[in-house]
A and B are shown apart, each in its own frame.
Chain A
Amino acid sequence: MLAFLIRRIGLIIPTFIGVTIAAFAFIRVLPGDPVLLMAGERGVSPERHAALMQQFGFDRPIYEQYLDYFFSALQGDLGNSLVTKRPVWDEFFTLFPATLELSVCAIVFAVAIGVPAGIYAATRRGSWPDQTIMGTALIGYSMPIFWWGLLLIILFSGILGWTPVSGRISLLYFFKPVTGFMLIDSLLSGQKGAFSSALSHLILPTIVLGTIPLAVVARQTRSAMLEVLSEDYVRTARAKGLSPLRVVGIHALRNAMIPVITTIGLQVGVLLAGAILTETIFSWPGIGKWMVDSIFRRDYPSVQGGLLMIAVIVMTVNLIVDLLYGLVNPRIRHVR
């Protein structure tokens, strides 16, 4: 297991360095002079221009600039936002809990419905419930989620008036963030109705963001389950006279879950990409919306920093999934 761990971590280091190069290159490949780009339409005088070039170190050799960037990034210095002038690192971690809260809810939603639906479909293979579940899953998988979000807003906010359209909590409530998770903070604040307000703001974004993972999890669970159900040991368990619930729920499920866990882990990239759209539609103040806003405001240090941080998160989660996979499935550890 240790060798496996070292090998996996050894693989991630060059990727991490590559990601920092990609993020570093991002500002450099933009056409035009970086200082002029940051100055935007105001422009700068030639003297100020030279001074700024020196201040940001743009006059030094490119590899020195990169090493500088790399080591500051390792220490959490990602530069300052051009718009708010605050450190990008702080901005990111102020907004990150909102995205994390939404993503966790979305994945819980996806697993809570997707796994049972997939198991049920597998045990009733070919029946109409199976076909309905798989048909629905394929529709979910094909869903343009930005449109799905708008539809849900039309129905639940527009026609039925059940849920709010945007934001994380009603403006009536205000409390200092403790954990950054609105559901927990609203409970901690002890204000009446705050929790239900936070919850009602969360429902639609959760459904929208969780739709594609839900479809993927349901499909993956079904196919993993089908594969396991045809194995000899399952037949043995049935022949022993174990109840169908025990055979499916315990004997088969354990092995079927291995690929499903991997699939769930791999949804993190999907979730972060989906967060861009979901947060834009629901004005959810997380990093997805922040990235889009930063791109439109030409706030390049923020885009650069966000890009790096998101890649690091995806890489870390993938590493954890890999390690978990090695842990639950000994066969993987010994390959190669």
Chain B
Amino acid sequence: MSEHTIDTPADTRSTGTRALLQEFWHYFSENRGAVIGMWFFFGVCLIALLADVIAPHGATTQYRDALLTPPVWQDGGDWRFLLGTDAVGRDMLSRLIYGSRYSLFVGCIVVVGAMVVGVTVGLIAGFVGGTVDTLIMRLMDIILSFPSLLLALVLVAILGPSLTNAMVAIAIVQQPHYVRLTRAAVLGERNKDYVTAAKVAGVRPLRLMFYTILPNCMAPLIVQAALSFSTAILDAAALGFLGMGAQPPTPEWGTMLAEAREFILRAWWVVTLPGLAILLTVLAINLMGDGLRDALDPKLKRS
């Protein structure tokens, strides 16, 4: 009898996952923008992975004979440098290609860091309740009282300007959103019958939190992950732009923009291209995020 009750849910679970994925893809692929965003994002990932192979030059190699060379299609362009060179003769295209690594890396680390901490804290708040919950939520309110970029800026000022510290600061600033979402989802799920059933069956609190409840709270968290991935890229670039993120000569897109500021009226390409790279990457992720939200949010589903 007891064996039987354990077996059956395990079976439906595996087919359930596949069916869920199929259903998800069905709704996701209806959104053309989301699919385009996804492919673009995969493309950027591929570029980042293969940067060493596809970049025509090194990211910090300087060509003293070719300072501020315009892109090939303009007068004075040089076929060696497809998108031109910057003020110290570094190839723009190669720097942009290597730059994709930093942005994606920042996005991944920040999302994983903020999510792991935020979800755990949120589960504890929602699950334990009482004083612990109040304390945690007030702490999150305090963090959220500061504009995120300002708080990140001050944290980096304390920790010292570097890309690593920028990532830590951005993760700290973003994690309250995960806490709030997880807590709200847990509060919604906590009193449902299946949780009570699991409790009665003697499931331990940890397993109950992470294995029974958490999977049912995933939808808003996945959407938030996409959102905070793009915010992380923007914030890291903004910190780099303000001189508080990655330090030169790192080819981080925001840092490249900061270096290019003085050439703004003389060499449009050193200013325009890194920003365009940021915009397109963030746009692709946001398109994907919109698609995820539509596909995962049952309220909006038109069955």
Q: What is A's interface to B at a CB cutoff of 8 Å?
A: 11, 14-15, 18-19, 22, 26, 29-30, 135, 138-139, 141-144, 146-148, 150-151, 153-154, 158, 269-270, 272-274, 276-277, 280, 291-292, 295-296, 303, 307, 310-311, 314-315, 318
Interface residue from A15, A141, A144 paired with B286 (Cβ < 8 Å): A141
Q: Given A15-B142, A138-B290, A154-B265, is A144 in contact with B237 using a C-beta cutoff of 8 Å?
A: yes
Q: Which of B112-120, B213-221, B267-275 lies at the binding interface?
A: B267-275
B241-285 CB mask vs A (1 if < 8 Å, else 0) is 111100000000010010001001100100110110011001101
Asked whether, in the complex, the Cβ of B275 is within 8 Å of the Cβ of A147, the reply is yes
* Cα separation A280 to B238 with both chains bound (whole Å): 11
B123 at interface by CB-CB < 8 Å: no
Interface residue from B145, B243, B261, B285 paired with A15 (Cβ < 8 Å): B145
B46 at interface by CB-CB < 8 Å: no
Q: Given A18-B142, A307-B146, is A147 in contact with B279 using a C-beta cutoff of 8 Å?
A: yes
* Cα separation A333 to B276 with both chains bound (whole Å): 45
Q: What is B's interface to A at a CB cutoff of 8 Å?
A: 33, 138-139, 141-142, 144-150, 153-154, 157-158, 230, 234, 237-238, 241-244, 254, 257, 261, 264-265, 268, 271-272, 274-275, 278-279, 282-283, 285-287, 290
* Cα separation A152 to B18 with both chains bound (whole Å): 48
Asked whether, in the complex, the Cβ of B138 is within 8 Å of the Cβ of A14, the reply is yes
Closest A residue to B243 by CB, please name it: A296
* Cα separation A142 to B142 with both chains bound (whole Å): 26
Asked whether, in the complex, the Cβ of A150 is within 8 Å of the Cβ of B147, the reply is no
Asked whether, in the complex, the Cβ of A276 is within 8 Å of the Cβ of B257, the reply is no
* Cα separation A148 to B274 with both chains bound (whole Å): 12
User: What are 10 inter-chain pairs, A to B, with CB distance below 8 A?
Assistant: A26-B158, A135-B33, A144-B234, A147-B257, A147-B279, A150-B257, A150-B271, A151-B271, A158-B264, A276-B242
* Cα separation A318 to B242 with both chains bound (whole Å): 28
Q: How far is the CB of A167 from chain B (nearest CB, A)?
A: 16
Asked whether, in the complex, the Cβ of B145 is within 8 Å of the Cβ of A295, the reply is no
Interface residue from A158, A270, A272, A276 paired with B265 (Cβ < 8 Å): A158
Known contacts A142-B283, A150-B264, then 13 further A-B pairs from the complex at CB < 8 Å, ordered by chain A residue = A15-B142, A147-B274, A150-B271, A151-B271, A158-B265, A273-B149, A274-B149, A295-B154, A307-B150, A310-B146, A310-B150, A311-B145, A311-B146
* A contact residues around B139 at 8 Å (CB): 18
* B contact residues around A296 at 8 Å (CB): 243
Q: How far is the CB of B247 from chain A (nearest CB, A)?
A: 14
Q: Given A142-B279, A303-B154, is A151 in contact with B272 using a C-beta cutoff of 8 Å?
A: yes
* A contact residues around B230 at 8 Å (CB): 142
Q: How far is the CB of B288 from chain A (nearest CB, A)?
A: 11
Q: Given A18-B139, A141-B286, A146-B257, is A295 in contact with B149 using a C-beta cutoff of 8 Å?
A: no
Asked whether, in the complex, the Cβ of B275 is within 8 Å of the Cβ of A150, the reply is yes
Which of B150, B254, B268 has the most chain A CB atoms closer than 10 A to its own CB?
Answer: B150
Q: How far is the CB of A126 from chain B (nearest CB, A)?
A: 12
Asked whether, in the complex, the Cβ of B264 is within 8 Å of the Cβ of A153, the reply is yes
* A contact residues around B154 at 8 Å (CB): 26, 295, 303, 307
Asked whether, in the complex, the Cβ of A273 is within 8 Å of the Cβ of B278, the reply is no
* Cα separation A311 to B142 with both chains bound (whole Å): 9
* B contact residues around A153 at 8 Å (CB): 264
Q: Given A26-B158, A151-B272, is A270 in contact with B147 using a C-beta cutoff of 8 Å?
A: yes
* Cα separation A148 to B282 with both chains bound (whole Å): 14
* A contact residues around B153 at 8 Å (CB): 276, 291-292, 295
Closest B residue to A148 by CB, please name it: B275
* B contact residues around A22 at 8 Å (CB): 142, 146
Closest A residue to B146 by CB, please name it: A311
* Cα separation A138 to B254 with both chains bound (whole Å): 20
Asked whether, in the complex, the Cβ of A315 is within 8 Å of the Cβ of B145, the reply is yes
Asked whether, in the complex, the Cβ of A314 is within 8 Å of the Cβ of B286, the reply is no
Q: How far is the CB of B92 from chain A (nearest CB, A)?
A: 15
* B contact residues around A18 at 8 Å (CB): 138-139, 141-142
* B contact residues around A158 at 8 Å (CB): 264-265
Q: How far is the CB of B174 from chain A (nearest CB, A)?
A: 13
Closest B residue to A139 by CB, please name it: B283
Q: How far is the CB of A304 from chain B (nearest CB, A)?
A: 9
